[in-house]
């Protein structure tokens, strides 16, 4: 029996059970015969669906400390594993990627976001410095990307940007695995949750407007699945006068999220305008659709095109709590419409937006690198 080809994914920032990295990319590689390792910082070492997760349990005091020390720490462990291909997921690890290449390894950079656009909205940076820092980082990232063996992007926007400087760039969209999500057991059954949001809870993702849509006198409730961006934000949101109408369940496993969505009437994703929102496809929207949920989402052109083509929900001004409330009440008042929109959502996922084609593209890239 031939020995499995060893590959290694690396992240200094992401959760070890990250949906894109672990449950889509790493699991797909493991299912197709690779020996897959995933290196992370300060989490639990475990094996999940054939993927070996290694955590370097090293104290990290803050973001700058992590950015300074993580590349060296992860490089040492990565070299111990002696993989054929290394696939890293954070821009702060670009120097690690170059060191691995210098050691004779094939290296893939996986860019999940348009980072220069993201920097422009970072509140921890002084406003006057955001544009200059974004410009400087863009020049640096471009120089590093030009030298990578391959680049994977999560959006066509970033794909097109990098194709101008590196010919081996592929887009692997964050479309969900359909078998992760439970199909509704029956119609006409009362659901546990009225409206559900899954993901990072932050101001730029519209949490304040979402809470403001819960006006006194209404009875519908909001379920929040995920974690707050900062403790300060969580403390502030918990003081909102309508917090008692929120079911905050915290971070959950993929299986638990699927169960919660199967018990929900509506999935909501009302991010506020920002370049990484308006120009990209919304991952959470696709997860709701895969779970056969009608959706309420921000009225951005790209998002609206998806929802209107699938006929699976309503688009609203995310900065307008009254518009969010009206959309929720409109859908909850019409169970028959909810059922039709949910079926339309799932059908669109089965036809157009599922992980199968993305997986094939990823596997093809690995085959090409191994043959090169």
Per-residue pLDDT of 261-316, as tens digits, reads 999 999 999 999 988 888 888 889 999 999 999 999 999 999 999 999 999 999 99
Q: Which tens digit of pLDDT belongs to each residue from 10-30?
A: 999 999 999 999 999 999 999
Q: Across all residues in the chain, what is the average pLDDT?
A: 94
Is the pLDDT higher at 206 or at 187? 206
Q: Contact 281/156 with Cβ under 8 angstroms? A: no
pLDDT exceeds 90 at position 179: no
- For residues 54 and 78, state if they share a domain: yes
pLDDT exceeds 60 at position 31: yes
- For residues 106 and 27, state if they share a domain: yes
Cβ-defined contacts of 105-109 (< 8 Å, 24+): 106/149, 106/150, 106/369, 106/370, 106/372, 107/148, 107/149, 107/150, 108/148, 108/149, 108/150, 108/151, 108/152, 108/365, 108/369, 109/144, 109/145, 109/148, 109/150, 109/151, 109/152
- For residues 133 and 239, state if they share a domain: no
Task: Give the pLDDT score at 362.
Answer: 98
- The answer to which of 5-9, 123-127, 155-159, 184-188 has the lowest mean pLDDT is 184-188
Percent of the chain with pLDDT over 70: 98
Structure tokens at 91: 């821009």
Q: Is residue 1 part of a domain?
A: no
Name which of 276, 290, 266, 295 is nearest 355 in CA terms: 290
Task: Give the pLDDT score at 214.
Answer: 96
Is the pLDDT higher at 102 or at 281? 102
The alpha carbon of residue 219 and the mean position of all alpha carbons in its chain are separated, in whole angstroms, by 31
- For residues 127 and 228, state if they share a domain: no
Its domain, for residue 190, covers 178-351
Q: Which tens digit of pLDDT belongs to each residue from 111-130?
A: 999 999 989 988 889 999 99
Q: CA–CA distance from 168 to each of 95, 265, 273, 323 (Å)?
A: 19, 42, 31, 44
- For residues 182 and 159, state if they share a domain: no
pLDDT exceeds 90 at position 188: no
- For residues 44 and 147, state if they share a domain: yes
Q: Is residue 326 part of a domain?
A: yes
Task: Give the pLDDT score at 185.
Answer: 57
Mean pLDDT calculated for residue range 122-141: 93
Q: 83: domain CATH number? A: 3.40.50.2000
Our count of domains for the chain comes to 2
- For residues 220 and 160, state if they share a domain: no
- For residues 214 and 342, state if they share a domain: yes
Mean pLDDT calculated for residue range 42-65: 92
Would you say how long the chain is, in residues? 372
Is the pLDDT higher at 156 or at 9? 9
Task: Give the pLDDT score at 187.
Answer: 54
Percent of the chain with pLDDT over 90: 84
Mean pLDDT calculated for residue range 37-56: 96
- For residues 12 and 33, state if they share a domain: yes
Task: Give the pLDDT score at 189.
Answer: 62
Strand 222-225 with 193-198, pairing = parallel
Q: The whole model's pTM is what?
A: 0.86
CA 114 – CA 327 distance, rounded (Å): 30
Task: Give the pLDDT score at 294.
Answer: 98
Task: Give the pLDDT score at 278.
Answer: 87
Q: Which tens digit of pLDDT belongs to each residue from 198-241?
A: 999 999 999 999 999 999 999 999 999 999 999 999 999 999 99
The band of 180, judged by pLDDT with boundaries at 50, 70 and 90, is: confident
Mean pLDDT calculated for residue range 98-112: 98
Task: Give the pLDDT score at 1.
Answer: 37
Task: Give the pLDDT score at 2.
Answer: 67
Mean pLDDT calculated for residue range 128-134: 94
């Amino acid at each position: 029996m031939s020995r499995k080809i060893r590959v290694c994914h690396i992240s200094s920032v992401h959760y070890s059970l990250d949906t894109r990295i672990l449950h889509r990319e790493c699991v797909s590689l493991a299912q197709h015969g690779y020996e897959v390792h995933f290196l992370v910082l300060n989490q639990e070492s475990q094996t999940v669906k054939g993927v070996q997760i290694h955590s370097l349990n090293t104290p990290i005091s803050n973001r700058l400390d992590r950015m300074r020390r993580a590349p060296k720490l992860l490089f040492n462990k990565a070299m111990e594993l002696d993989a054929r291909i290394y696939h890293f997921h954070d821009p702060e690890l670009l120097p690690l990627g170059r060191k691995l290449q210098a050691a004779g390894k094939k290296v893939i950079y996986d860019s999940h976001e348009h980072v220069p656009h993201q920097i422009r909205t970072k509140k921890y940076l002084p406003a006057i410095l955001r544009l200059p820092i974004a410009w400087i980082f863009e020049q640096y990232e471009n120089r590093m990307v030009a030298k990578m063996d391959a680049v994977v992007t999560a959006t066509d926007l970033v794909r097109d940007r990098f194709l101008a400087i590196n010919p081996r760039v592929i887009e692997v969209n964050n479309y969900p695995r359909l078998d992760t999500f439970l199909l509704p057991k029956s119609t006409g059954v009362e659901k546990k949750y009225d409206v559900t949001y899954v993901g990072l809870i932050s101001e730029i993702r519209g949490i304040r407007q979402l809470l403001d849509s819960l006006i006194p006198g209404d009875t519908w409730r909001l379920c929040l699945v995920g974690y707050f961006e900062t403790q300060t934000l969580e403390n502030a949101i918990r003081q909102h006068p309508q917090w008692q109408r929120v079911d905050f369940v915290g971070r959950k496993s993929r299986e638990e999220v699927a169960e919660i969505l199967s018990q929900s009437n509506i999935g909501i994703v009302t991010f506020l305008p920002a370049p990484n929102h308006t120009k990209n496809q919304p991952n959470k929207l696709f997860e709701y659709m895969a779970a056969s949920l009608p959706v309420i989402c921000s009225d951005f052109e790209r998002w609206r095109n998806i929802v209107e083509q699938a006929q699976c929900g309503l688009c609203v001004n995310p900065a307008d709590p009254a518009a969010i409330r009206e959309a929720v009440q409109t859908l909850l008042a019409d169970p028959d419409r909810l059922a039709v929109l949910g079926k339309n959502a799932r059908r669109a996922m089965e036809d157009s937006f599922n992980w199968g084609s993305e997986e094939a593209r990823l596997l093809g890239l690995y085959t090409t690198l191994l043959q090169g």
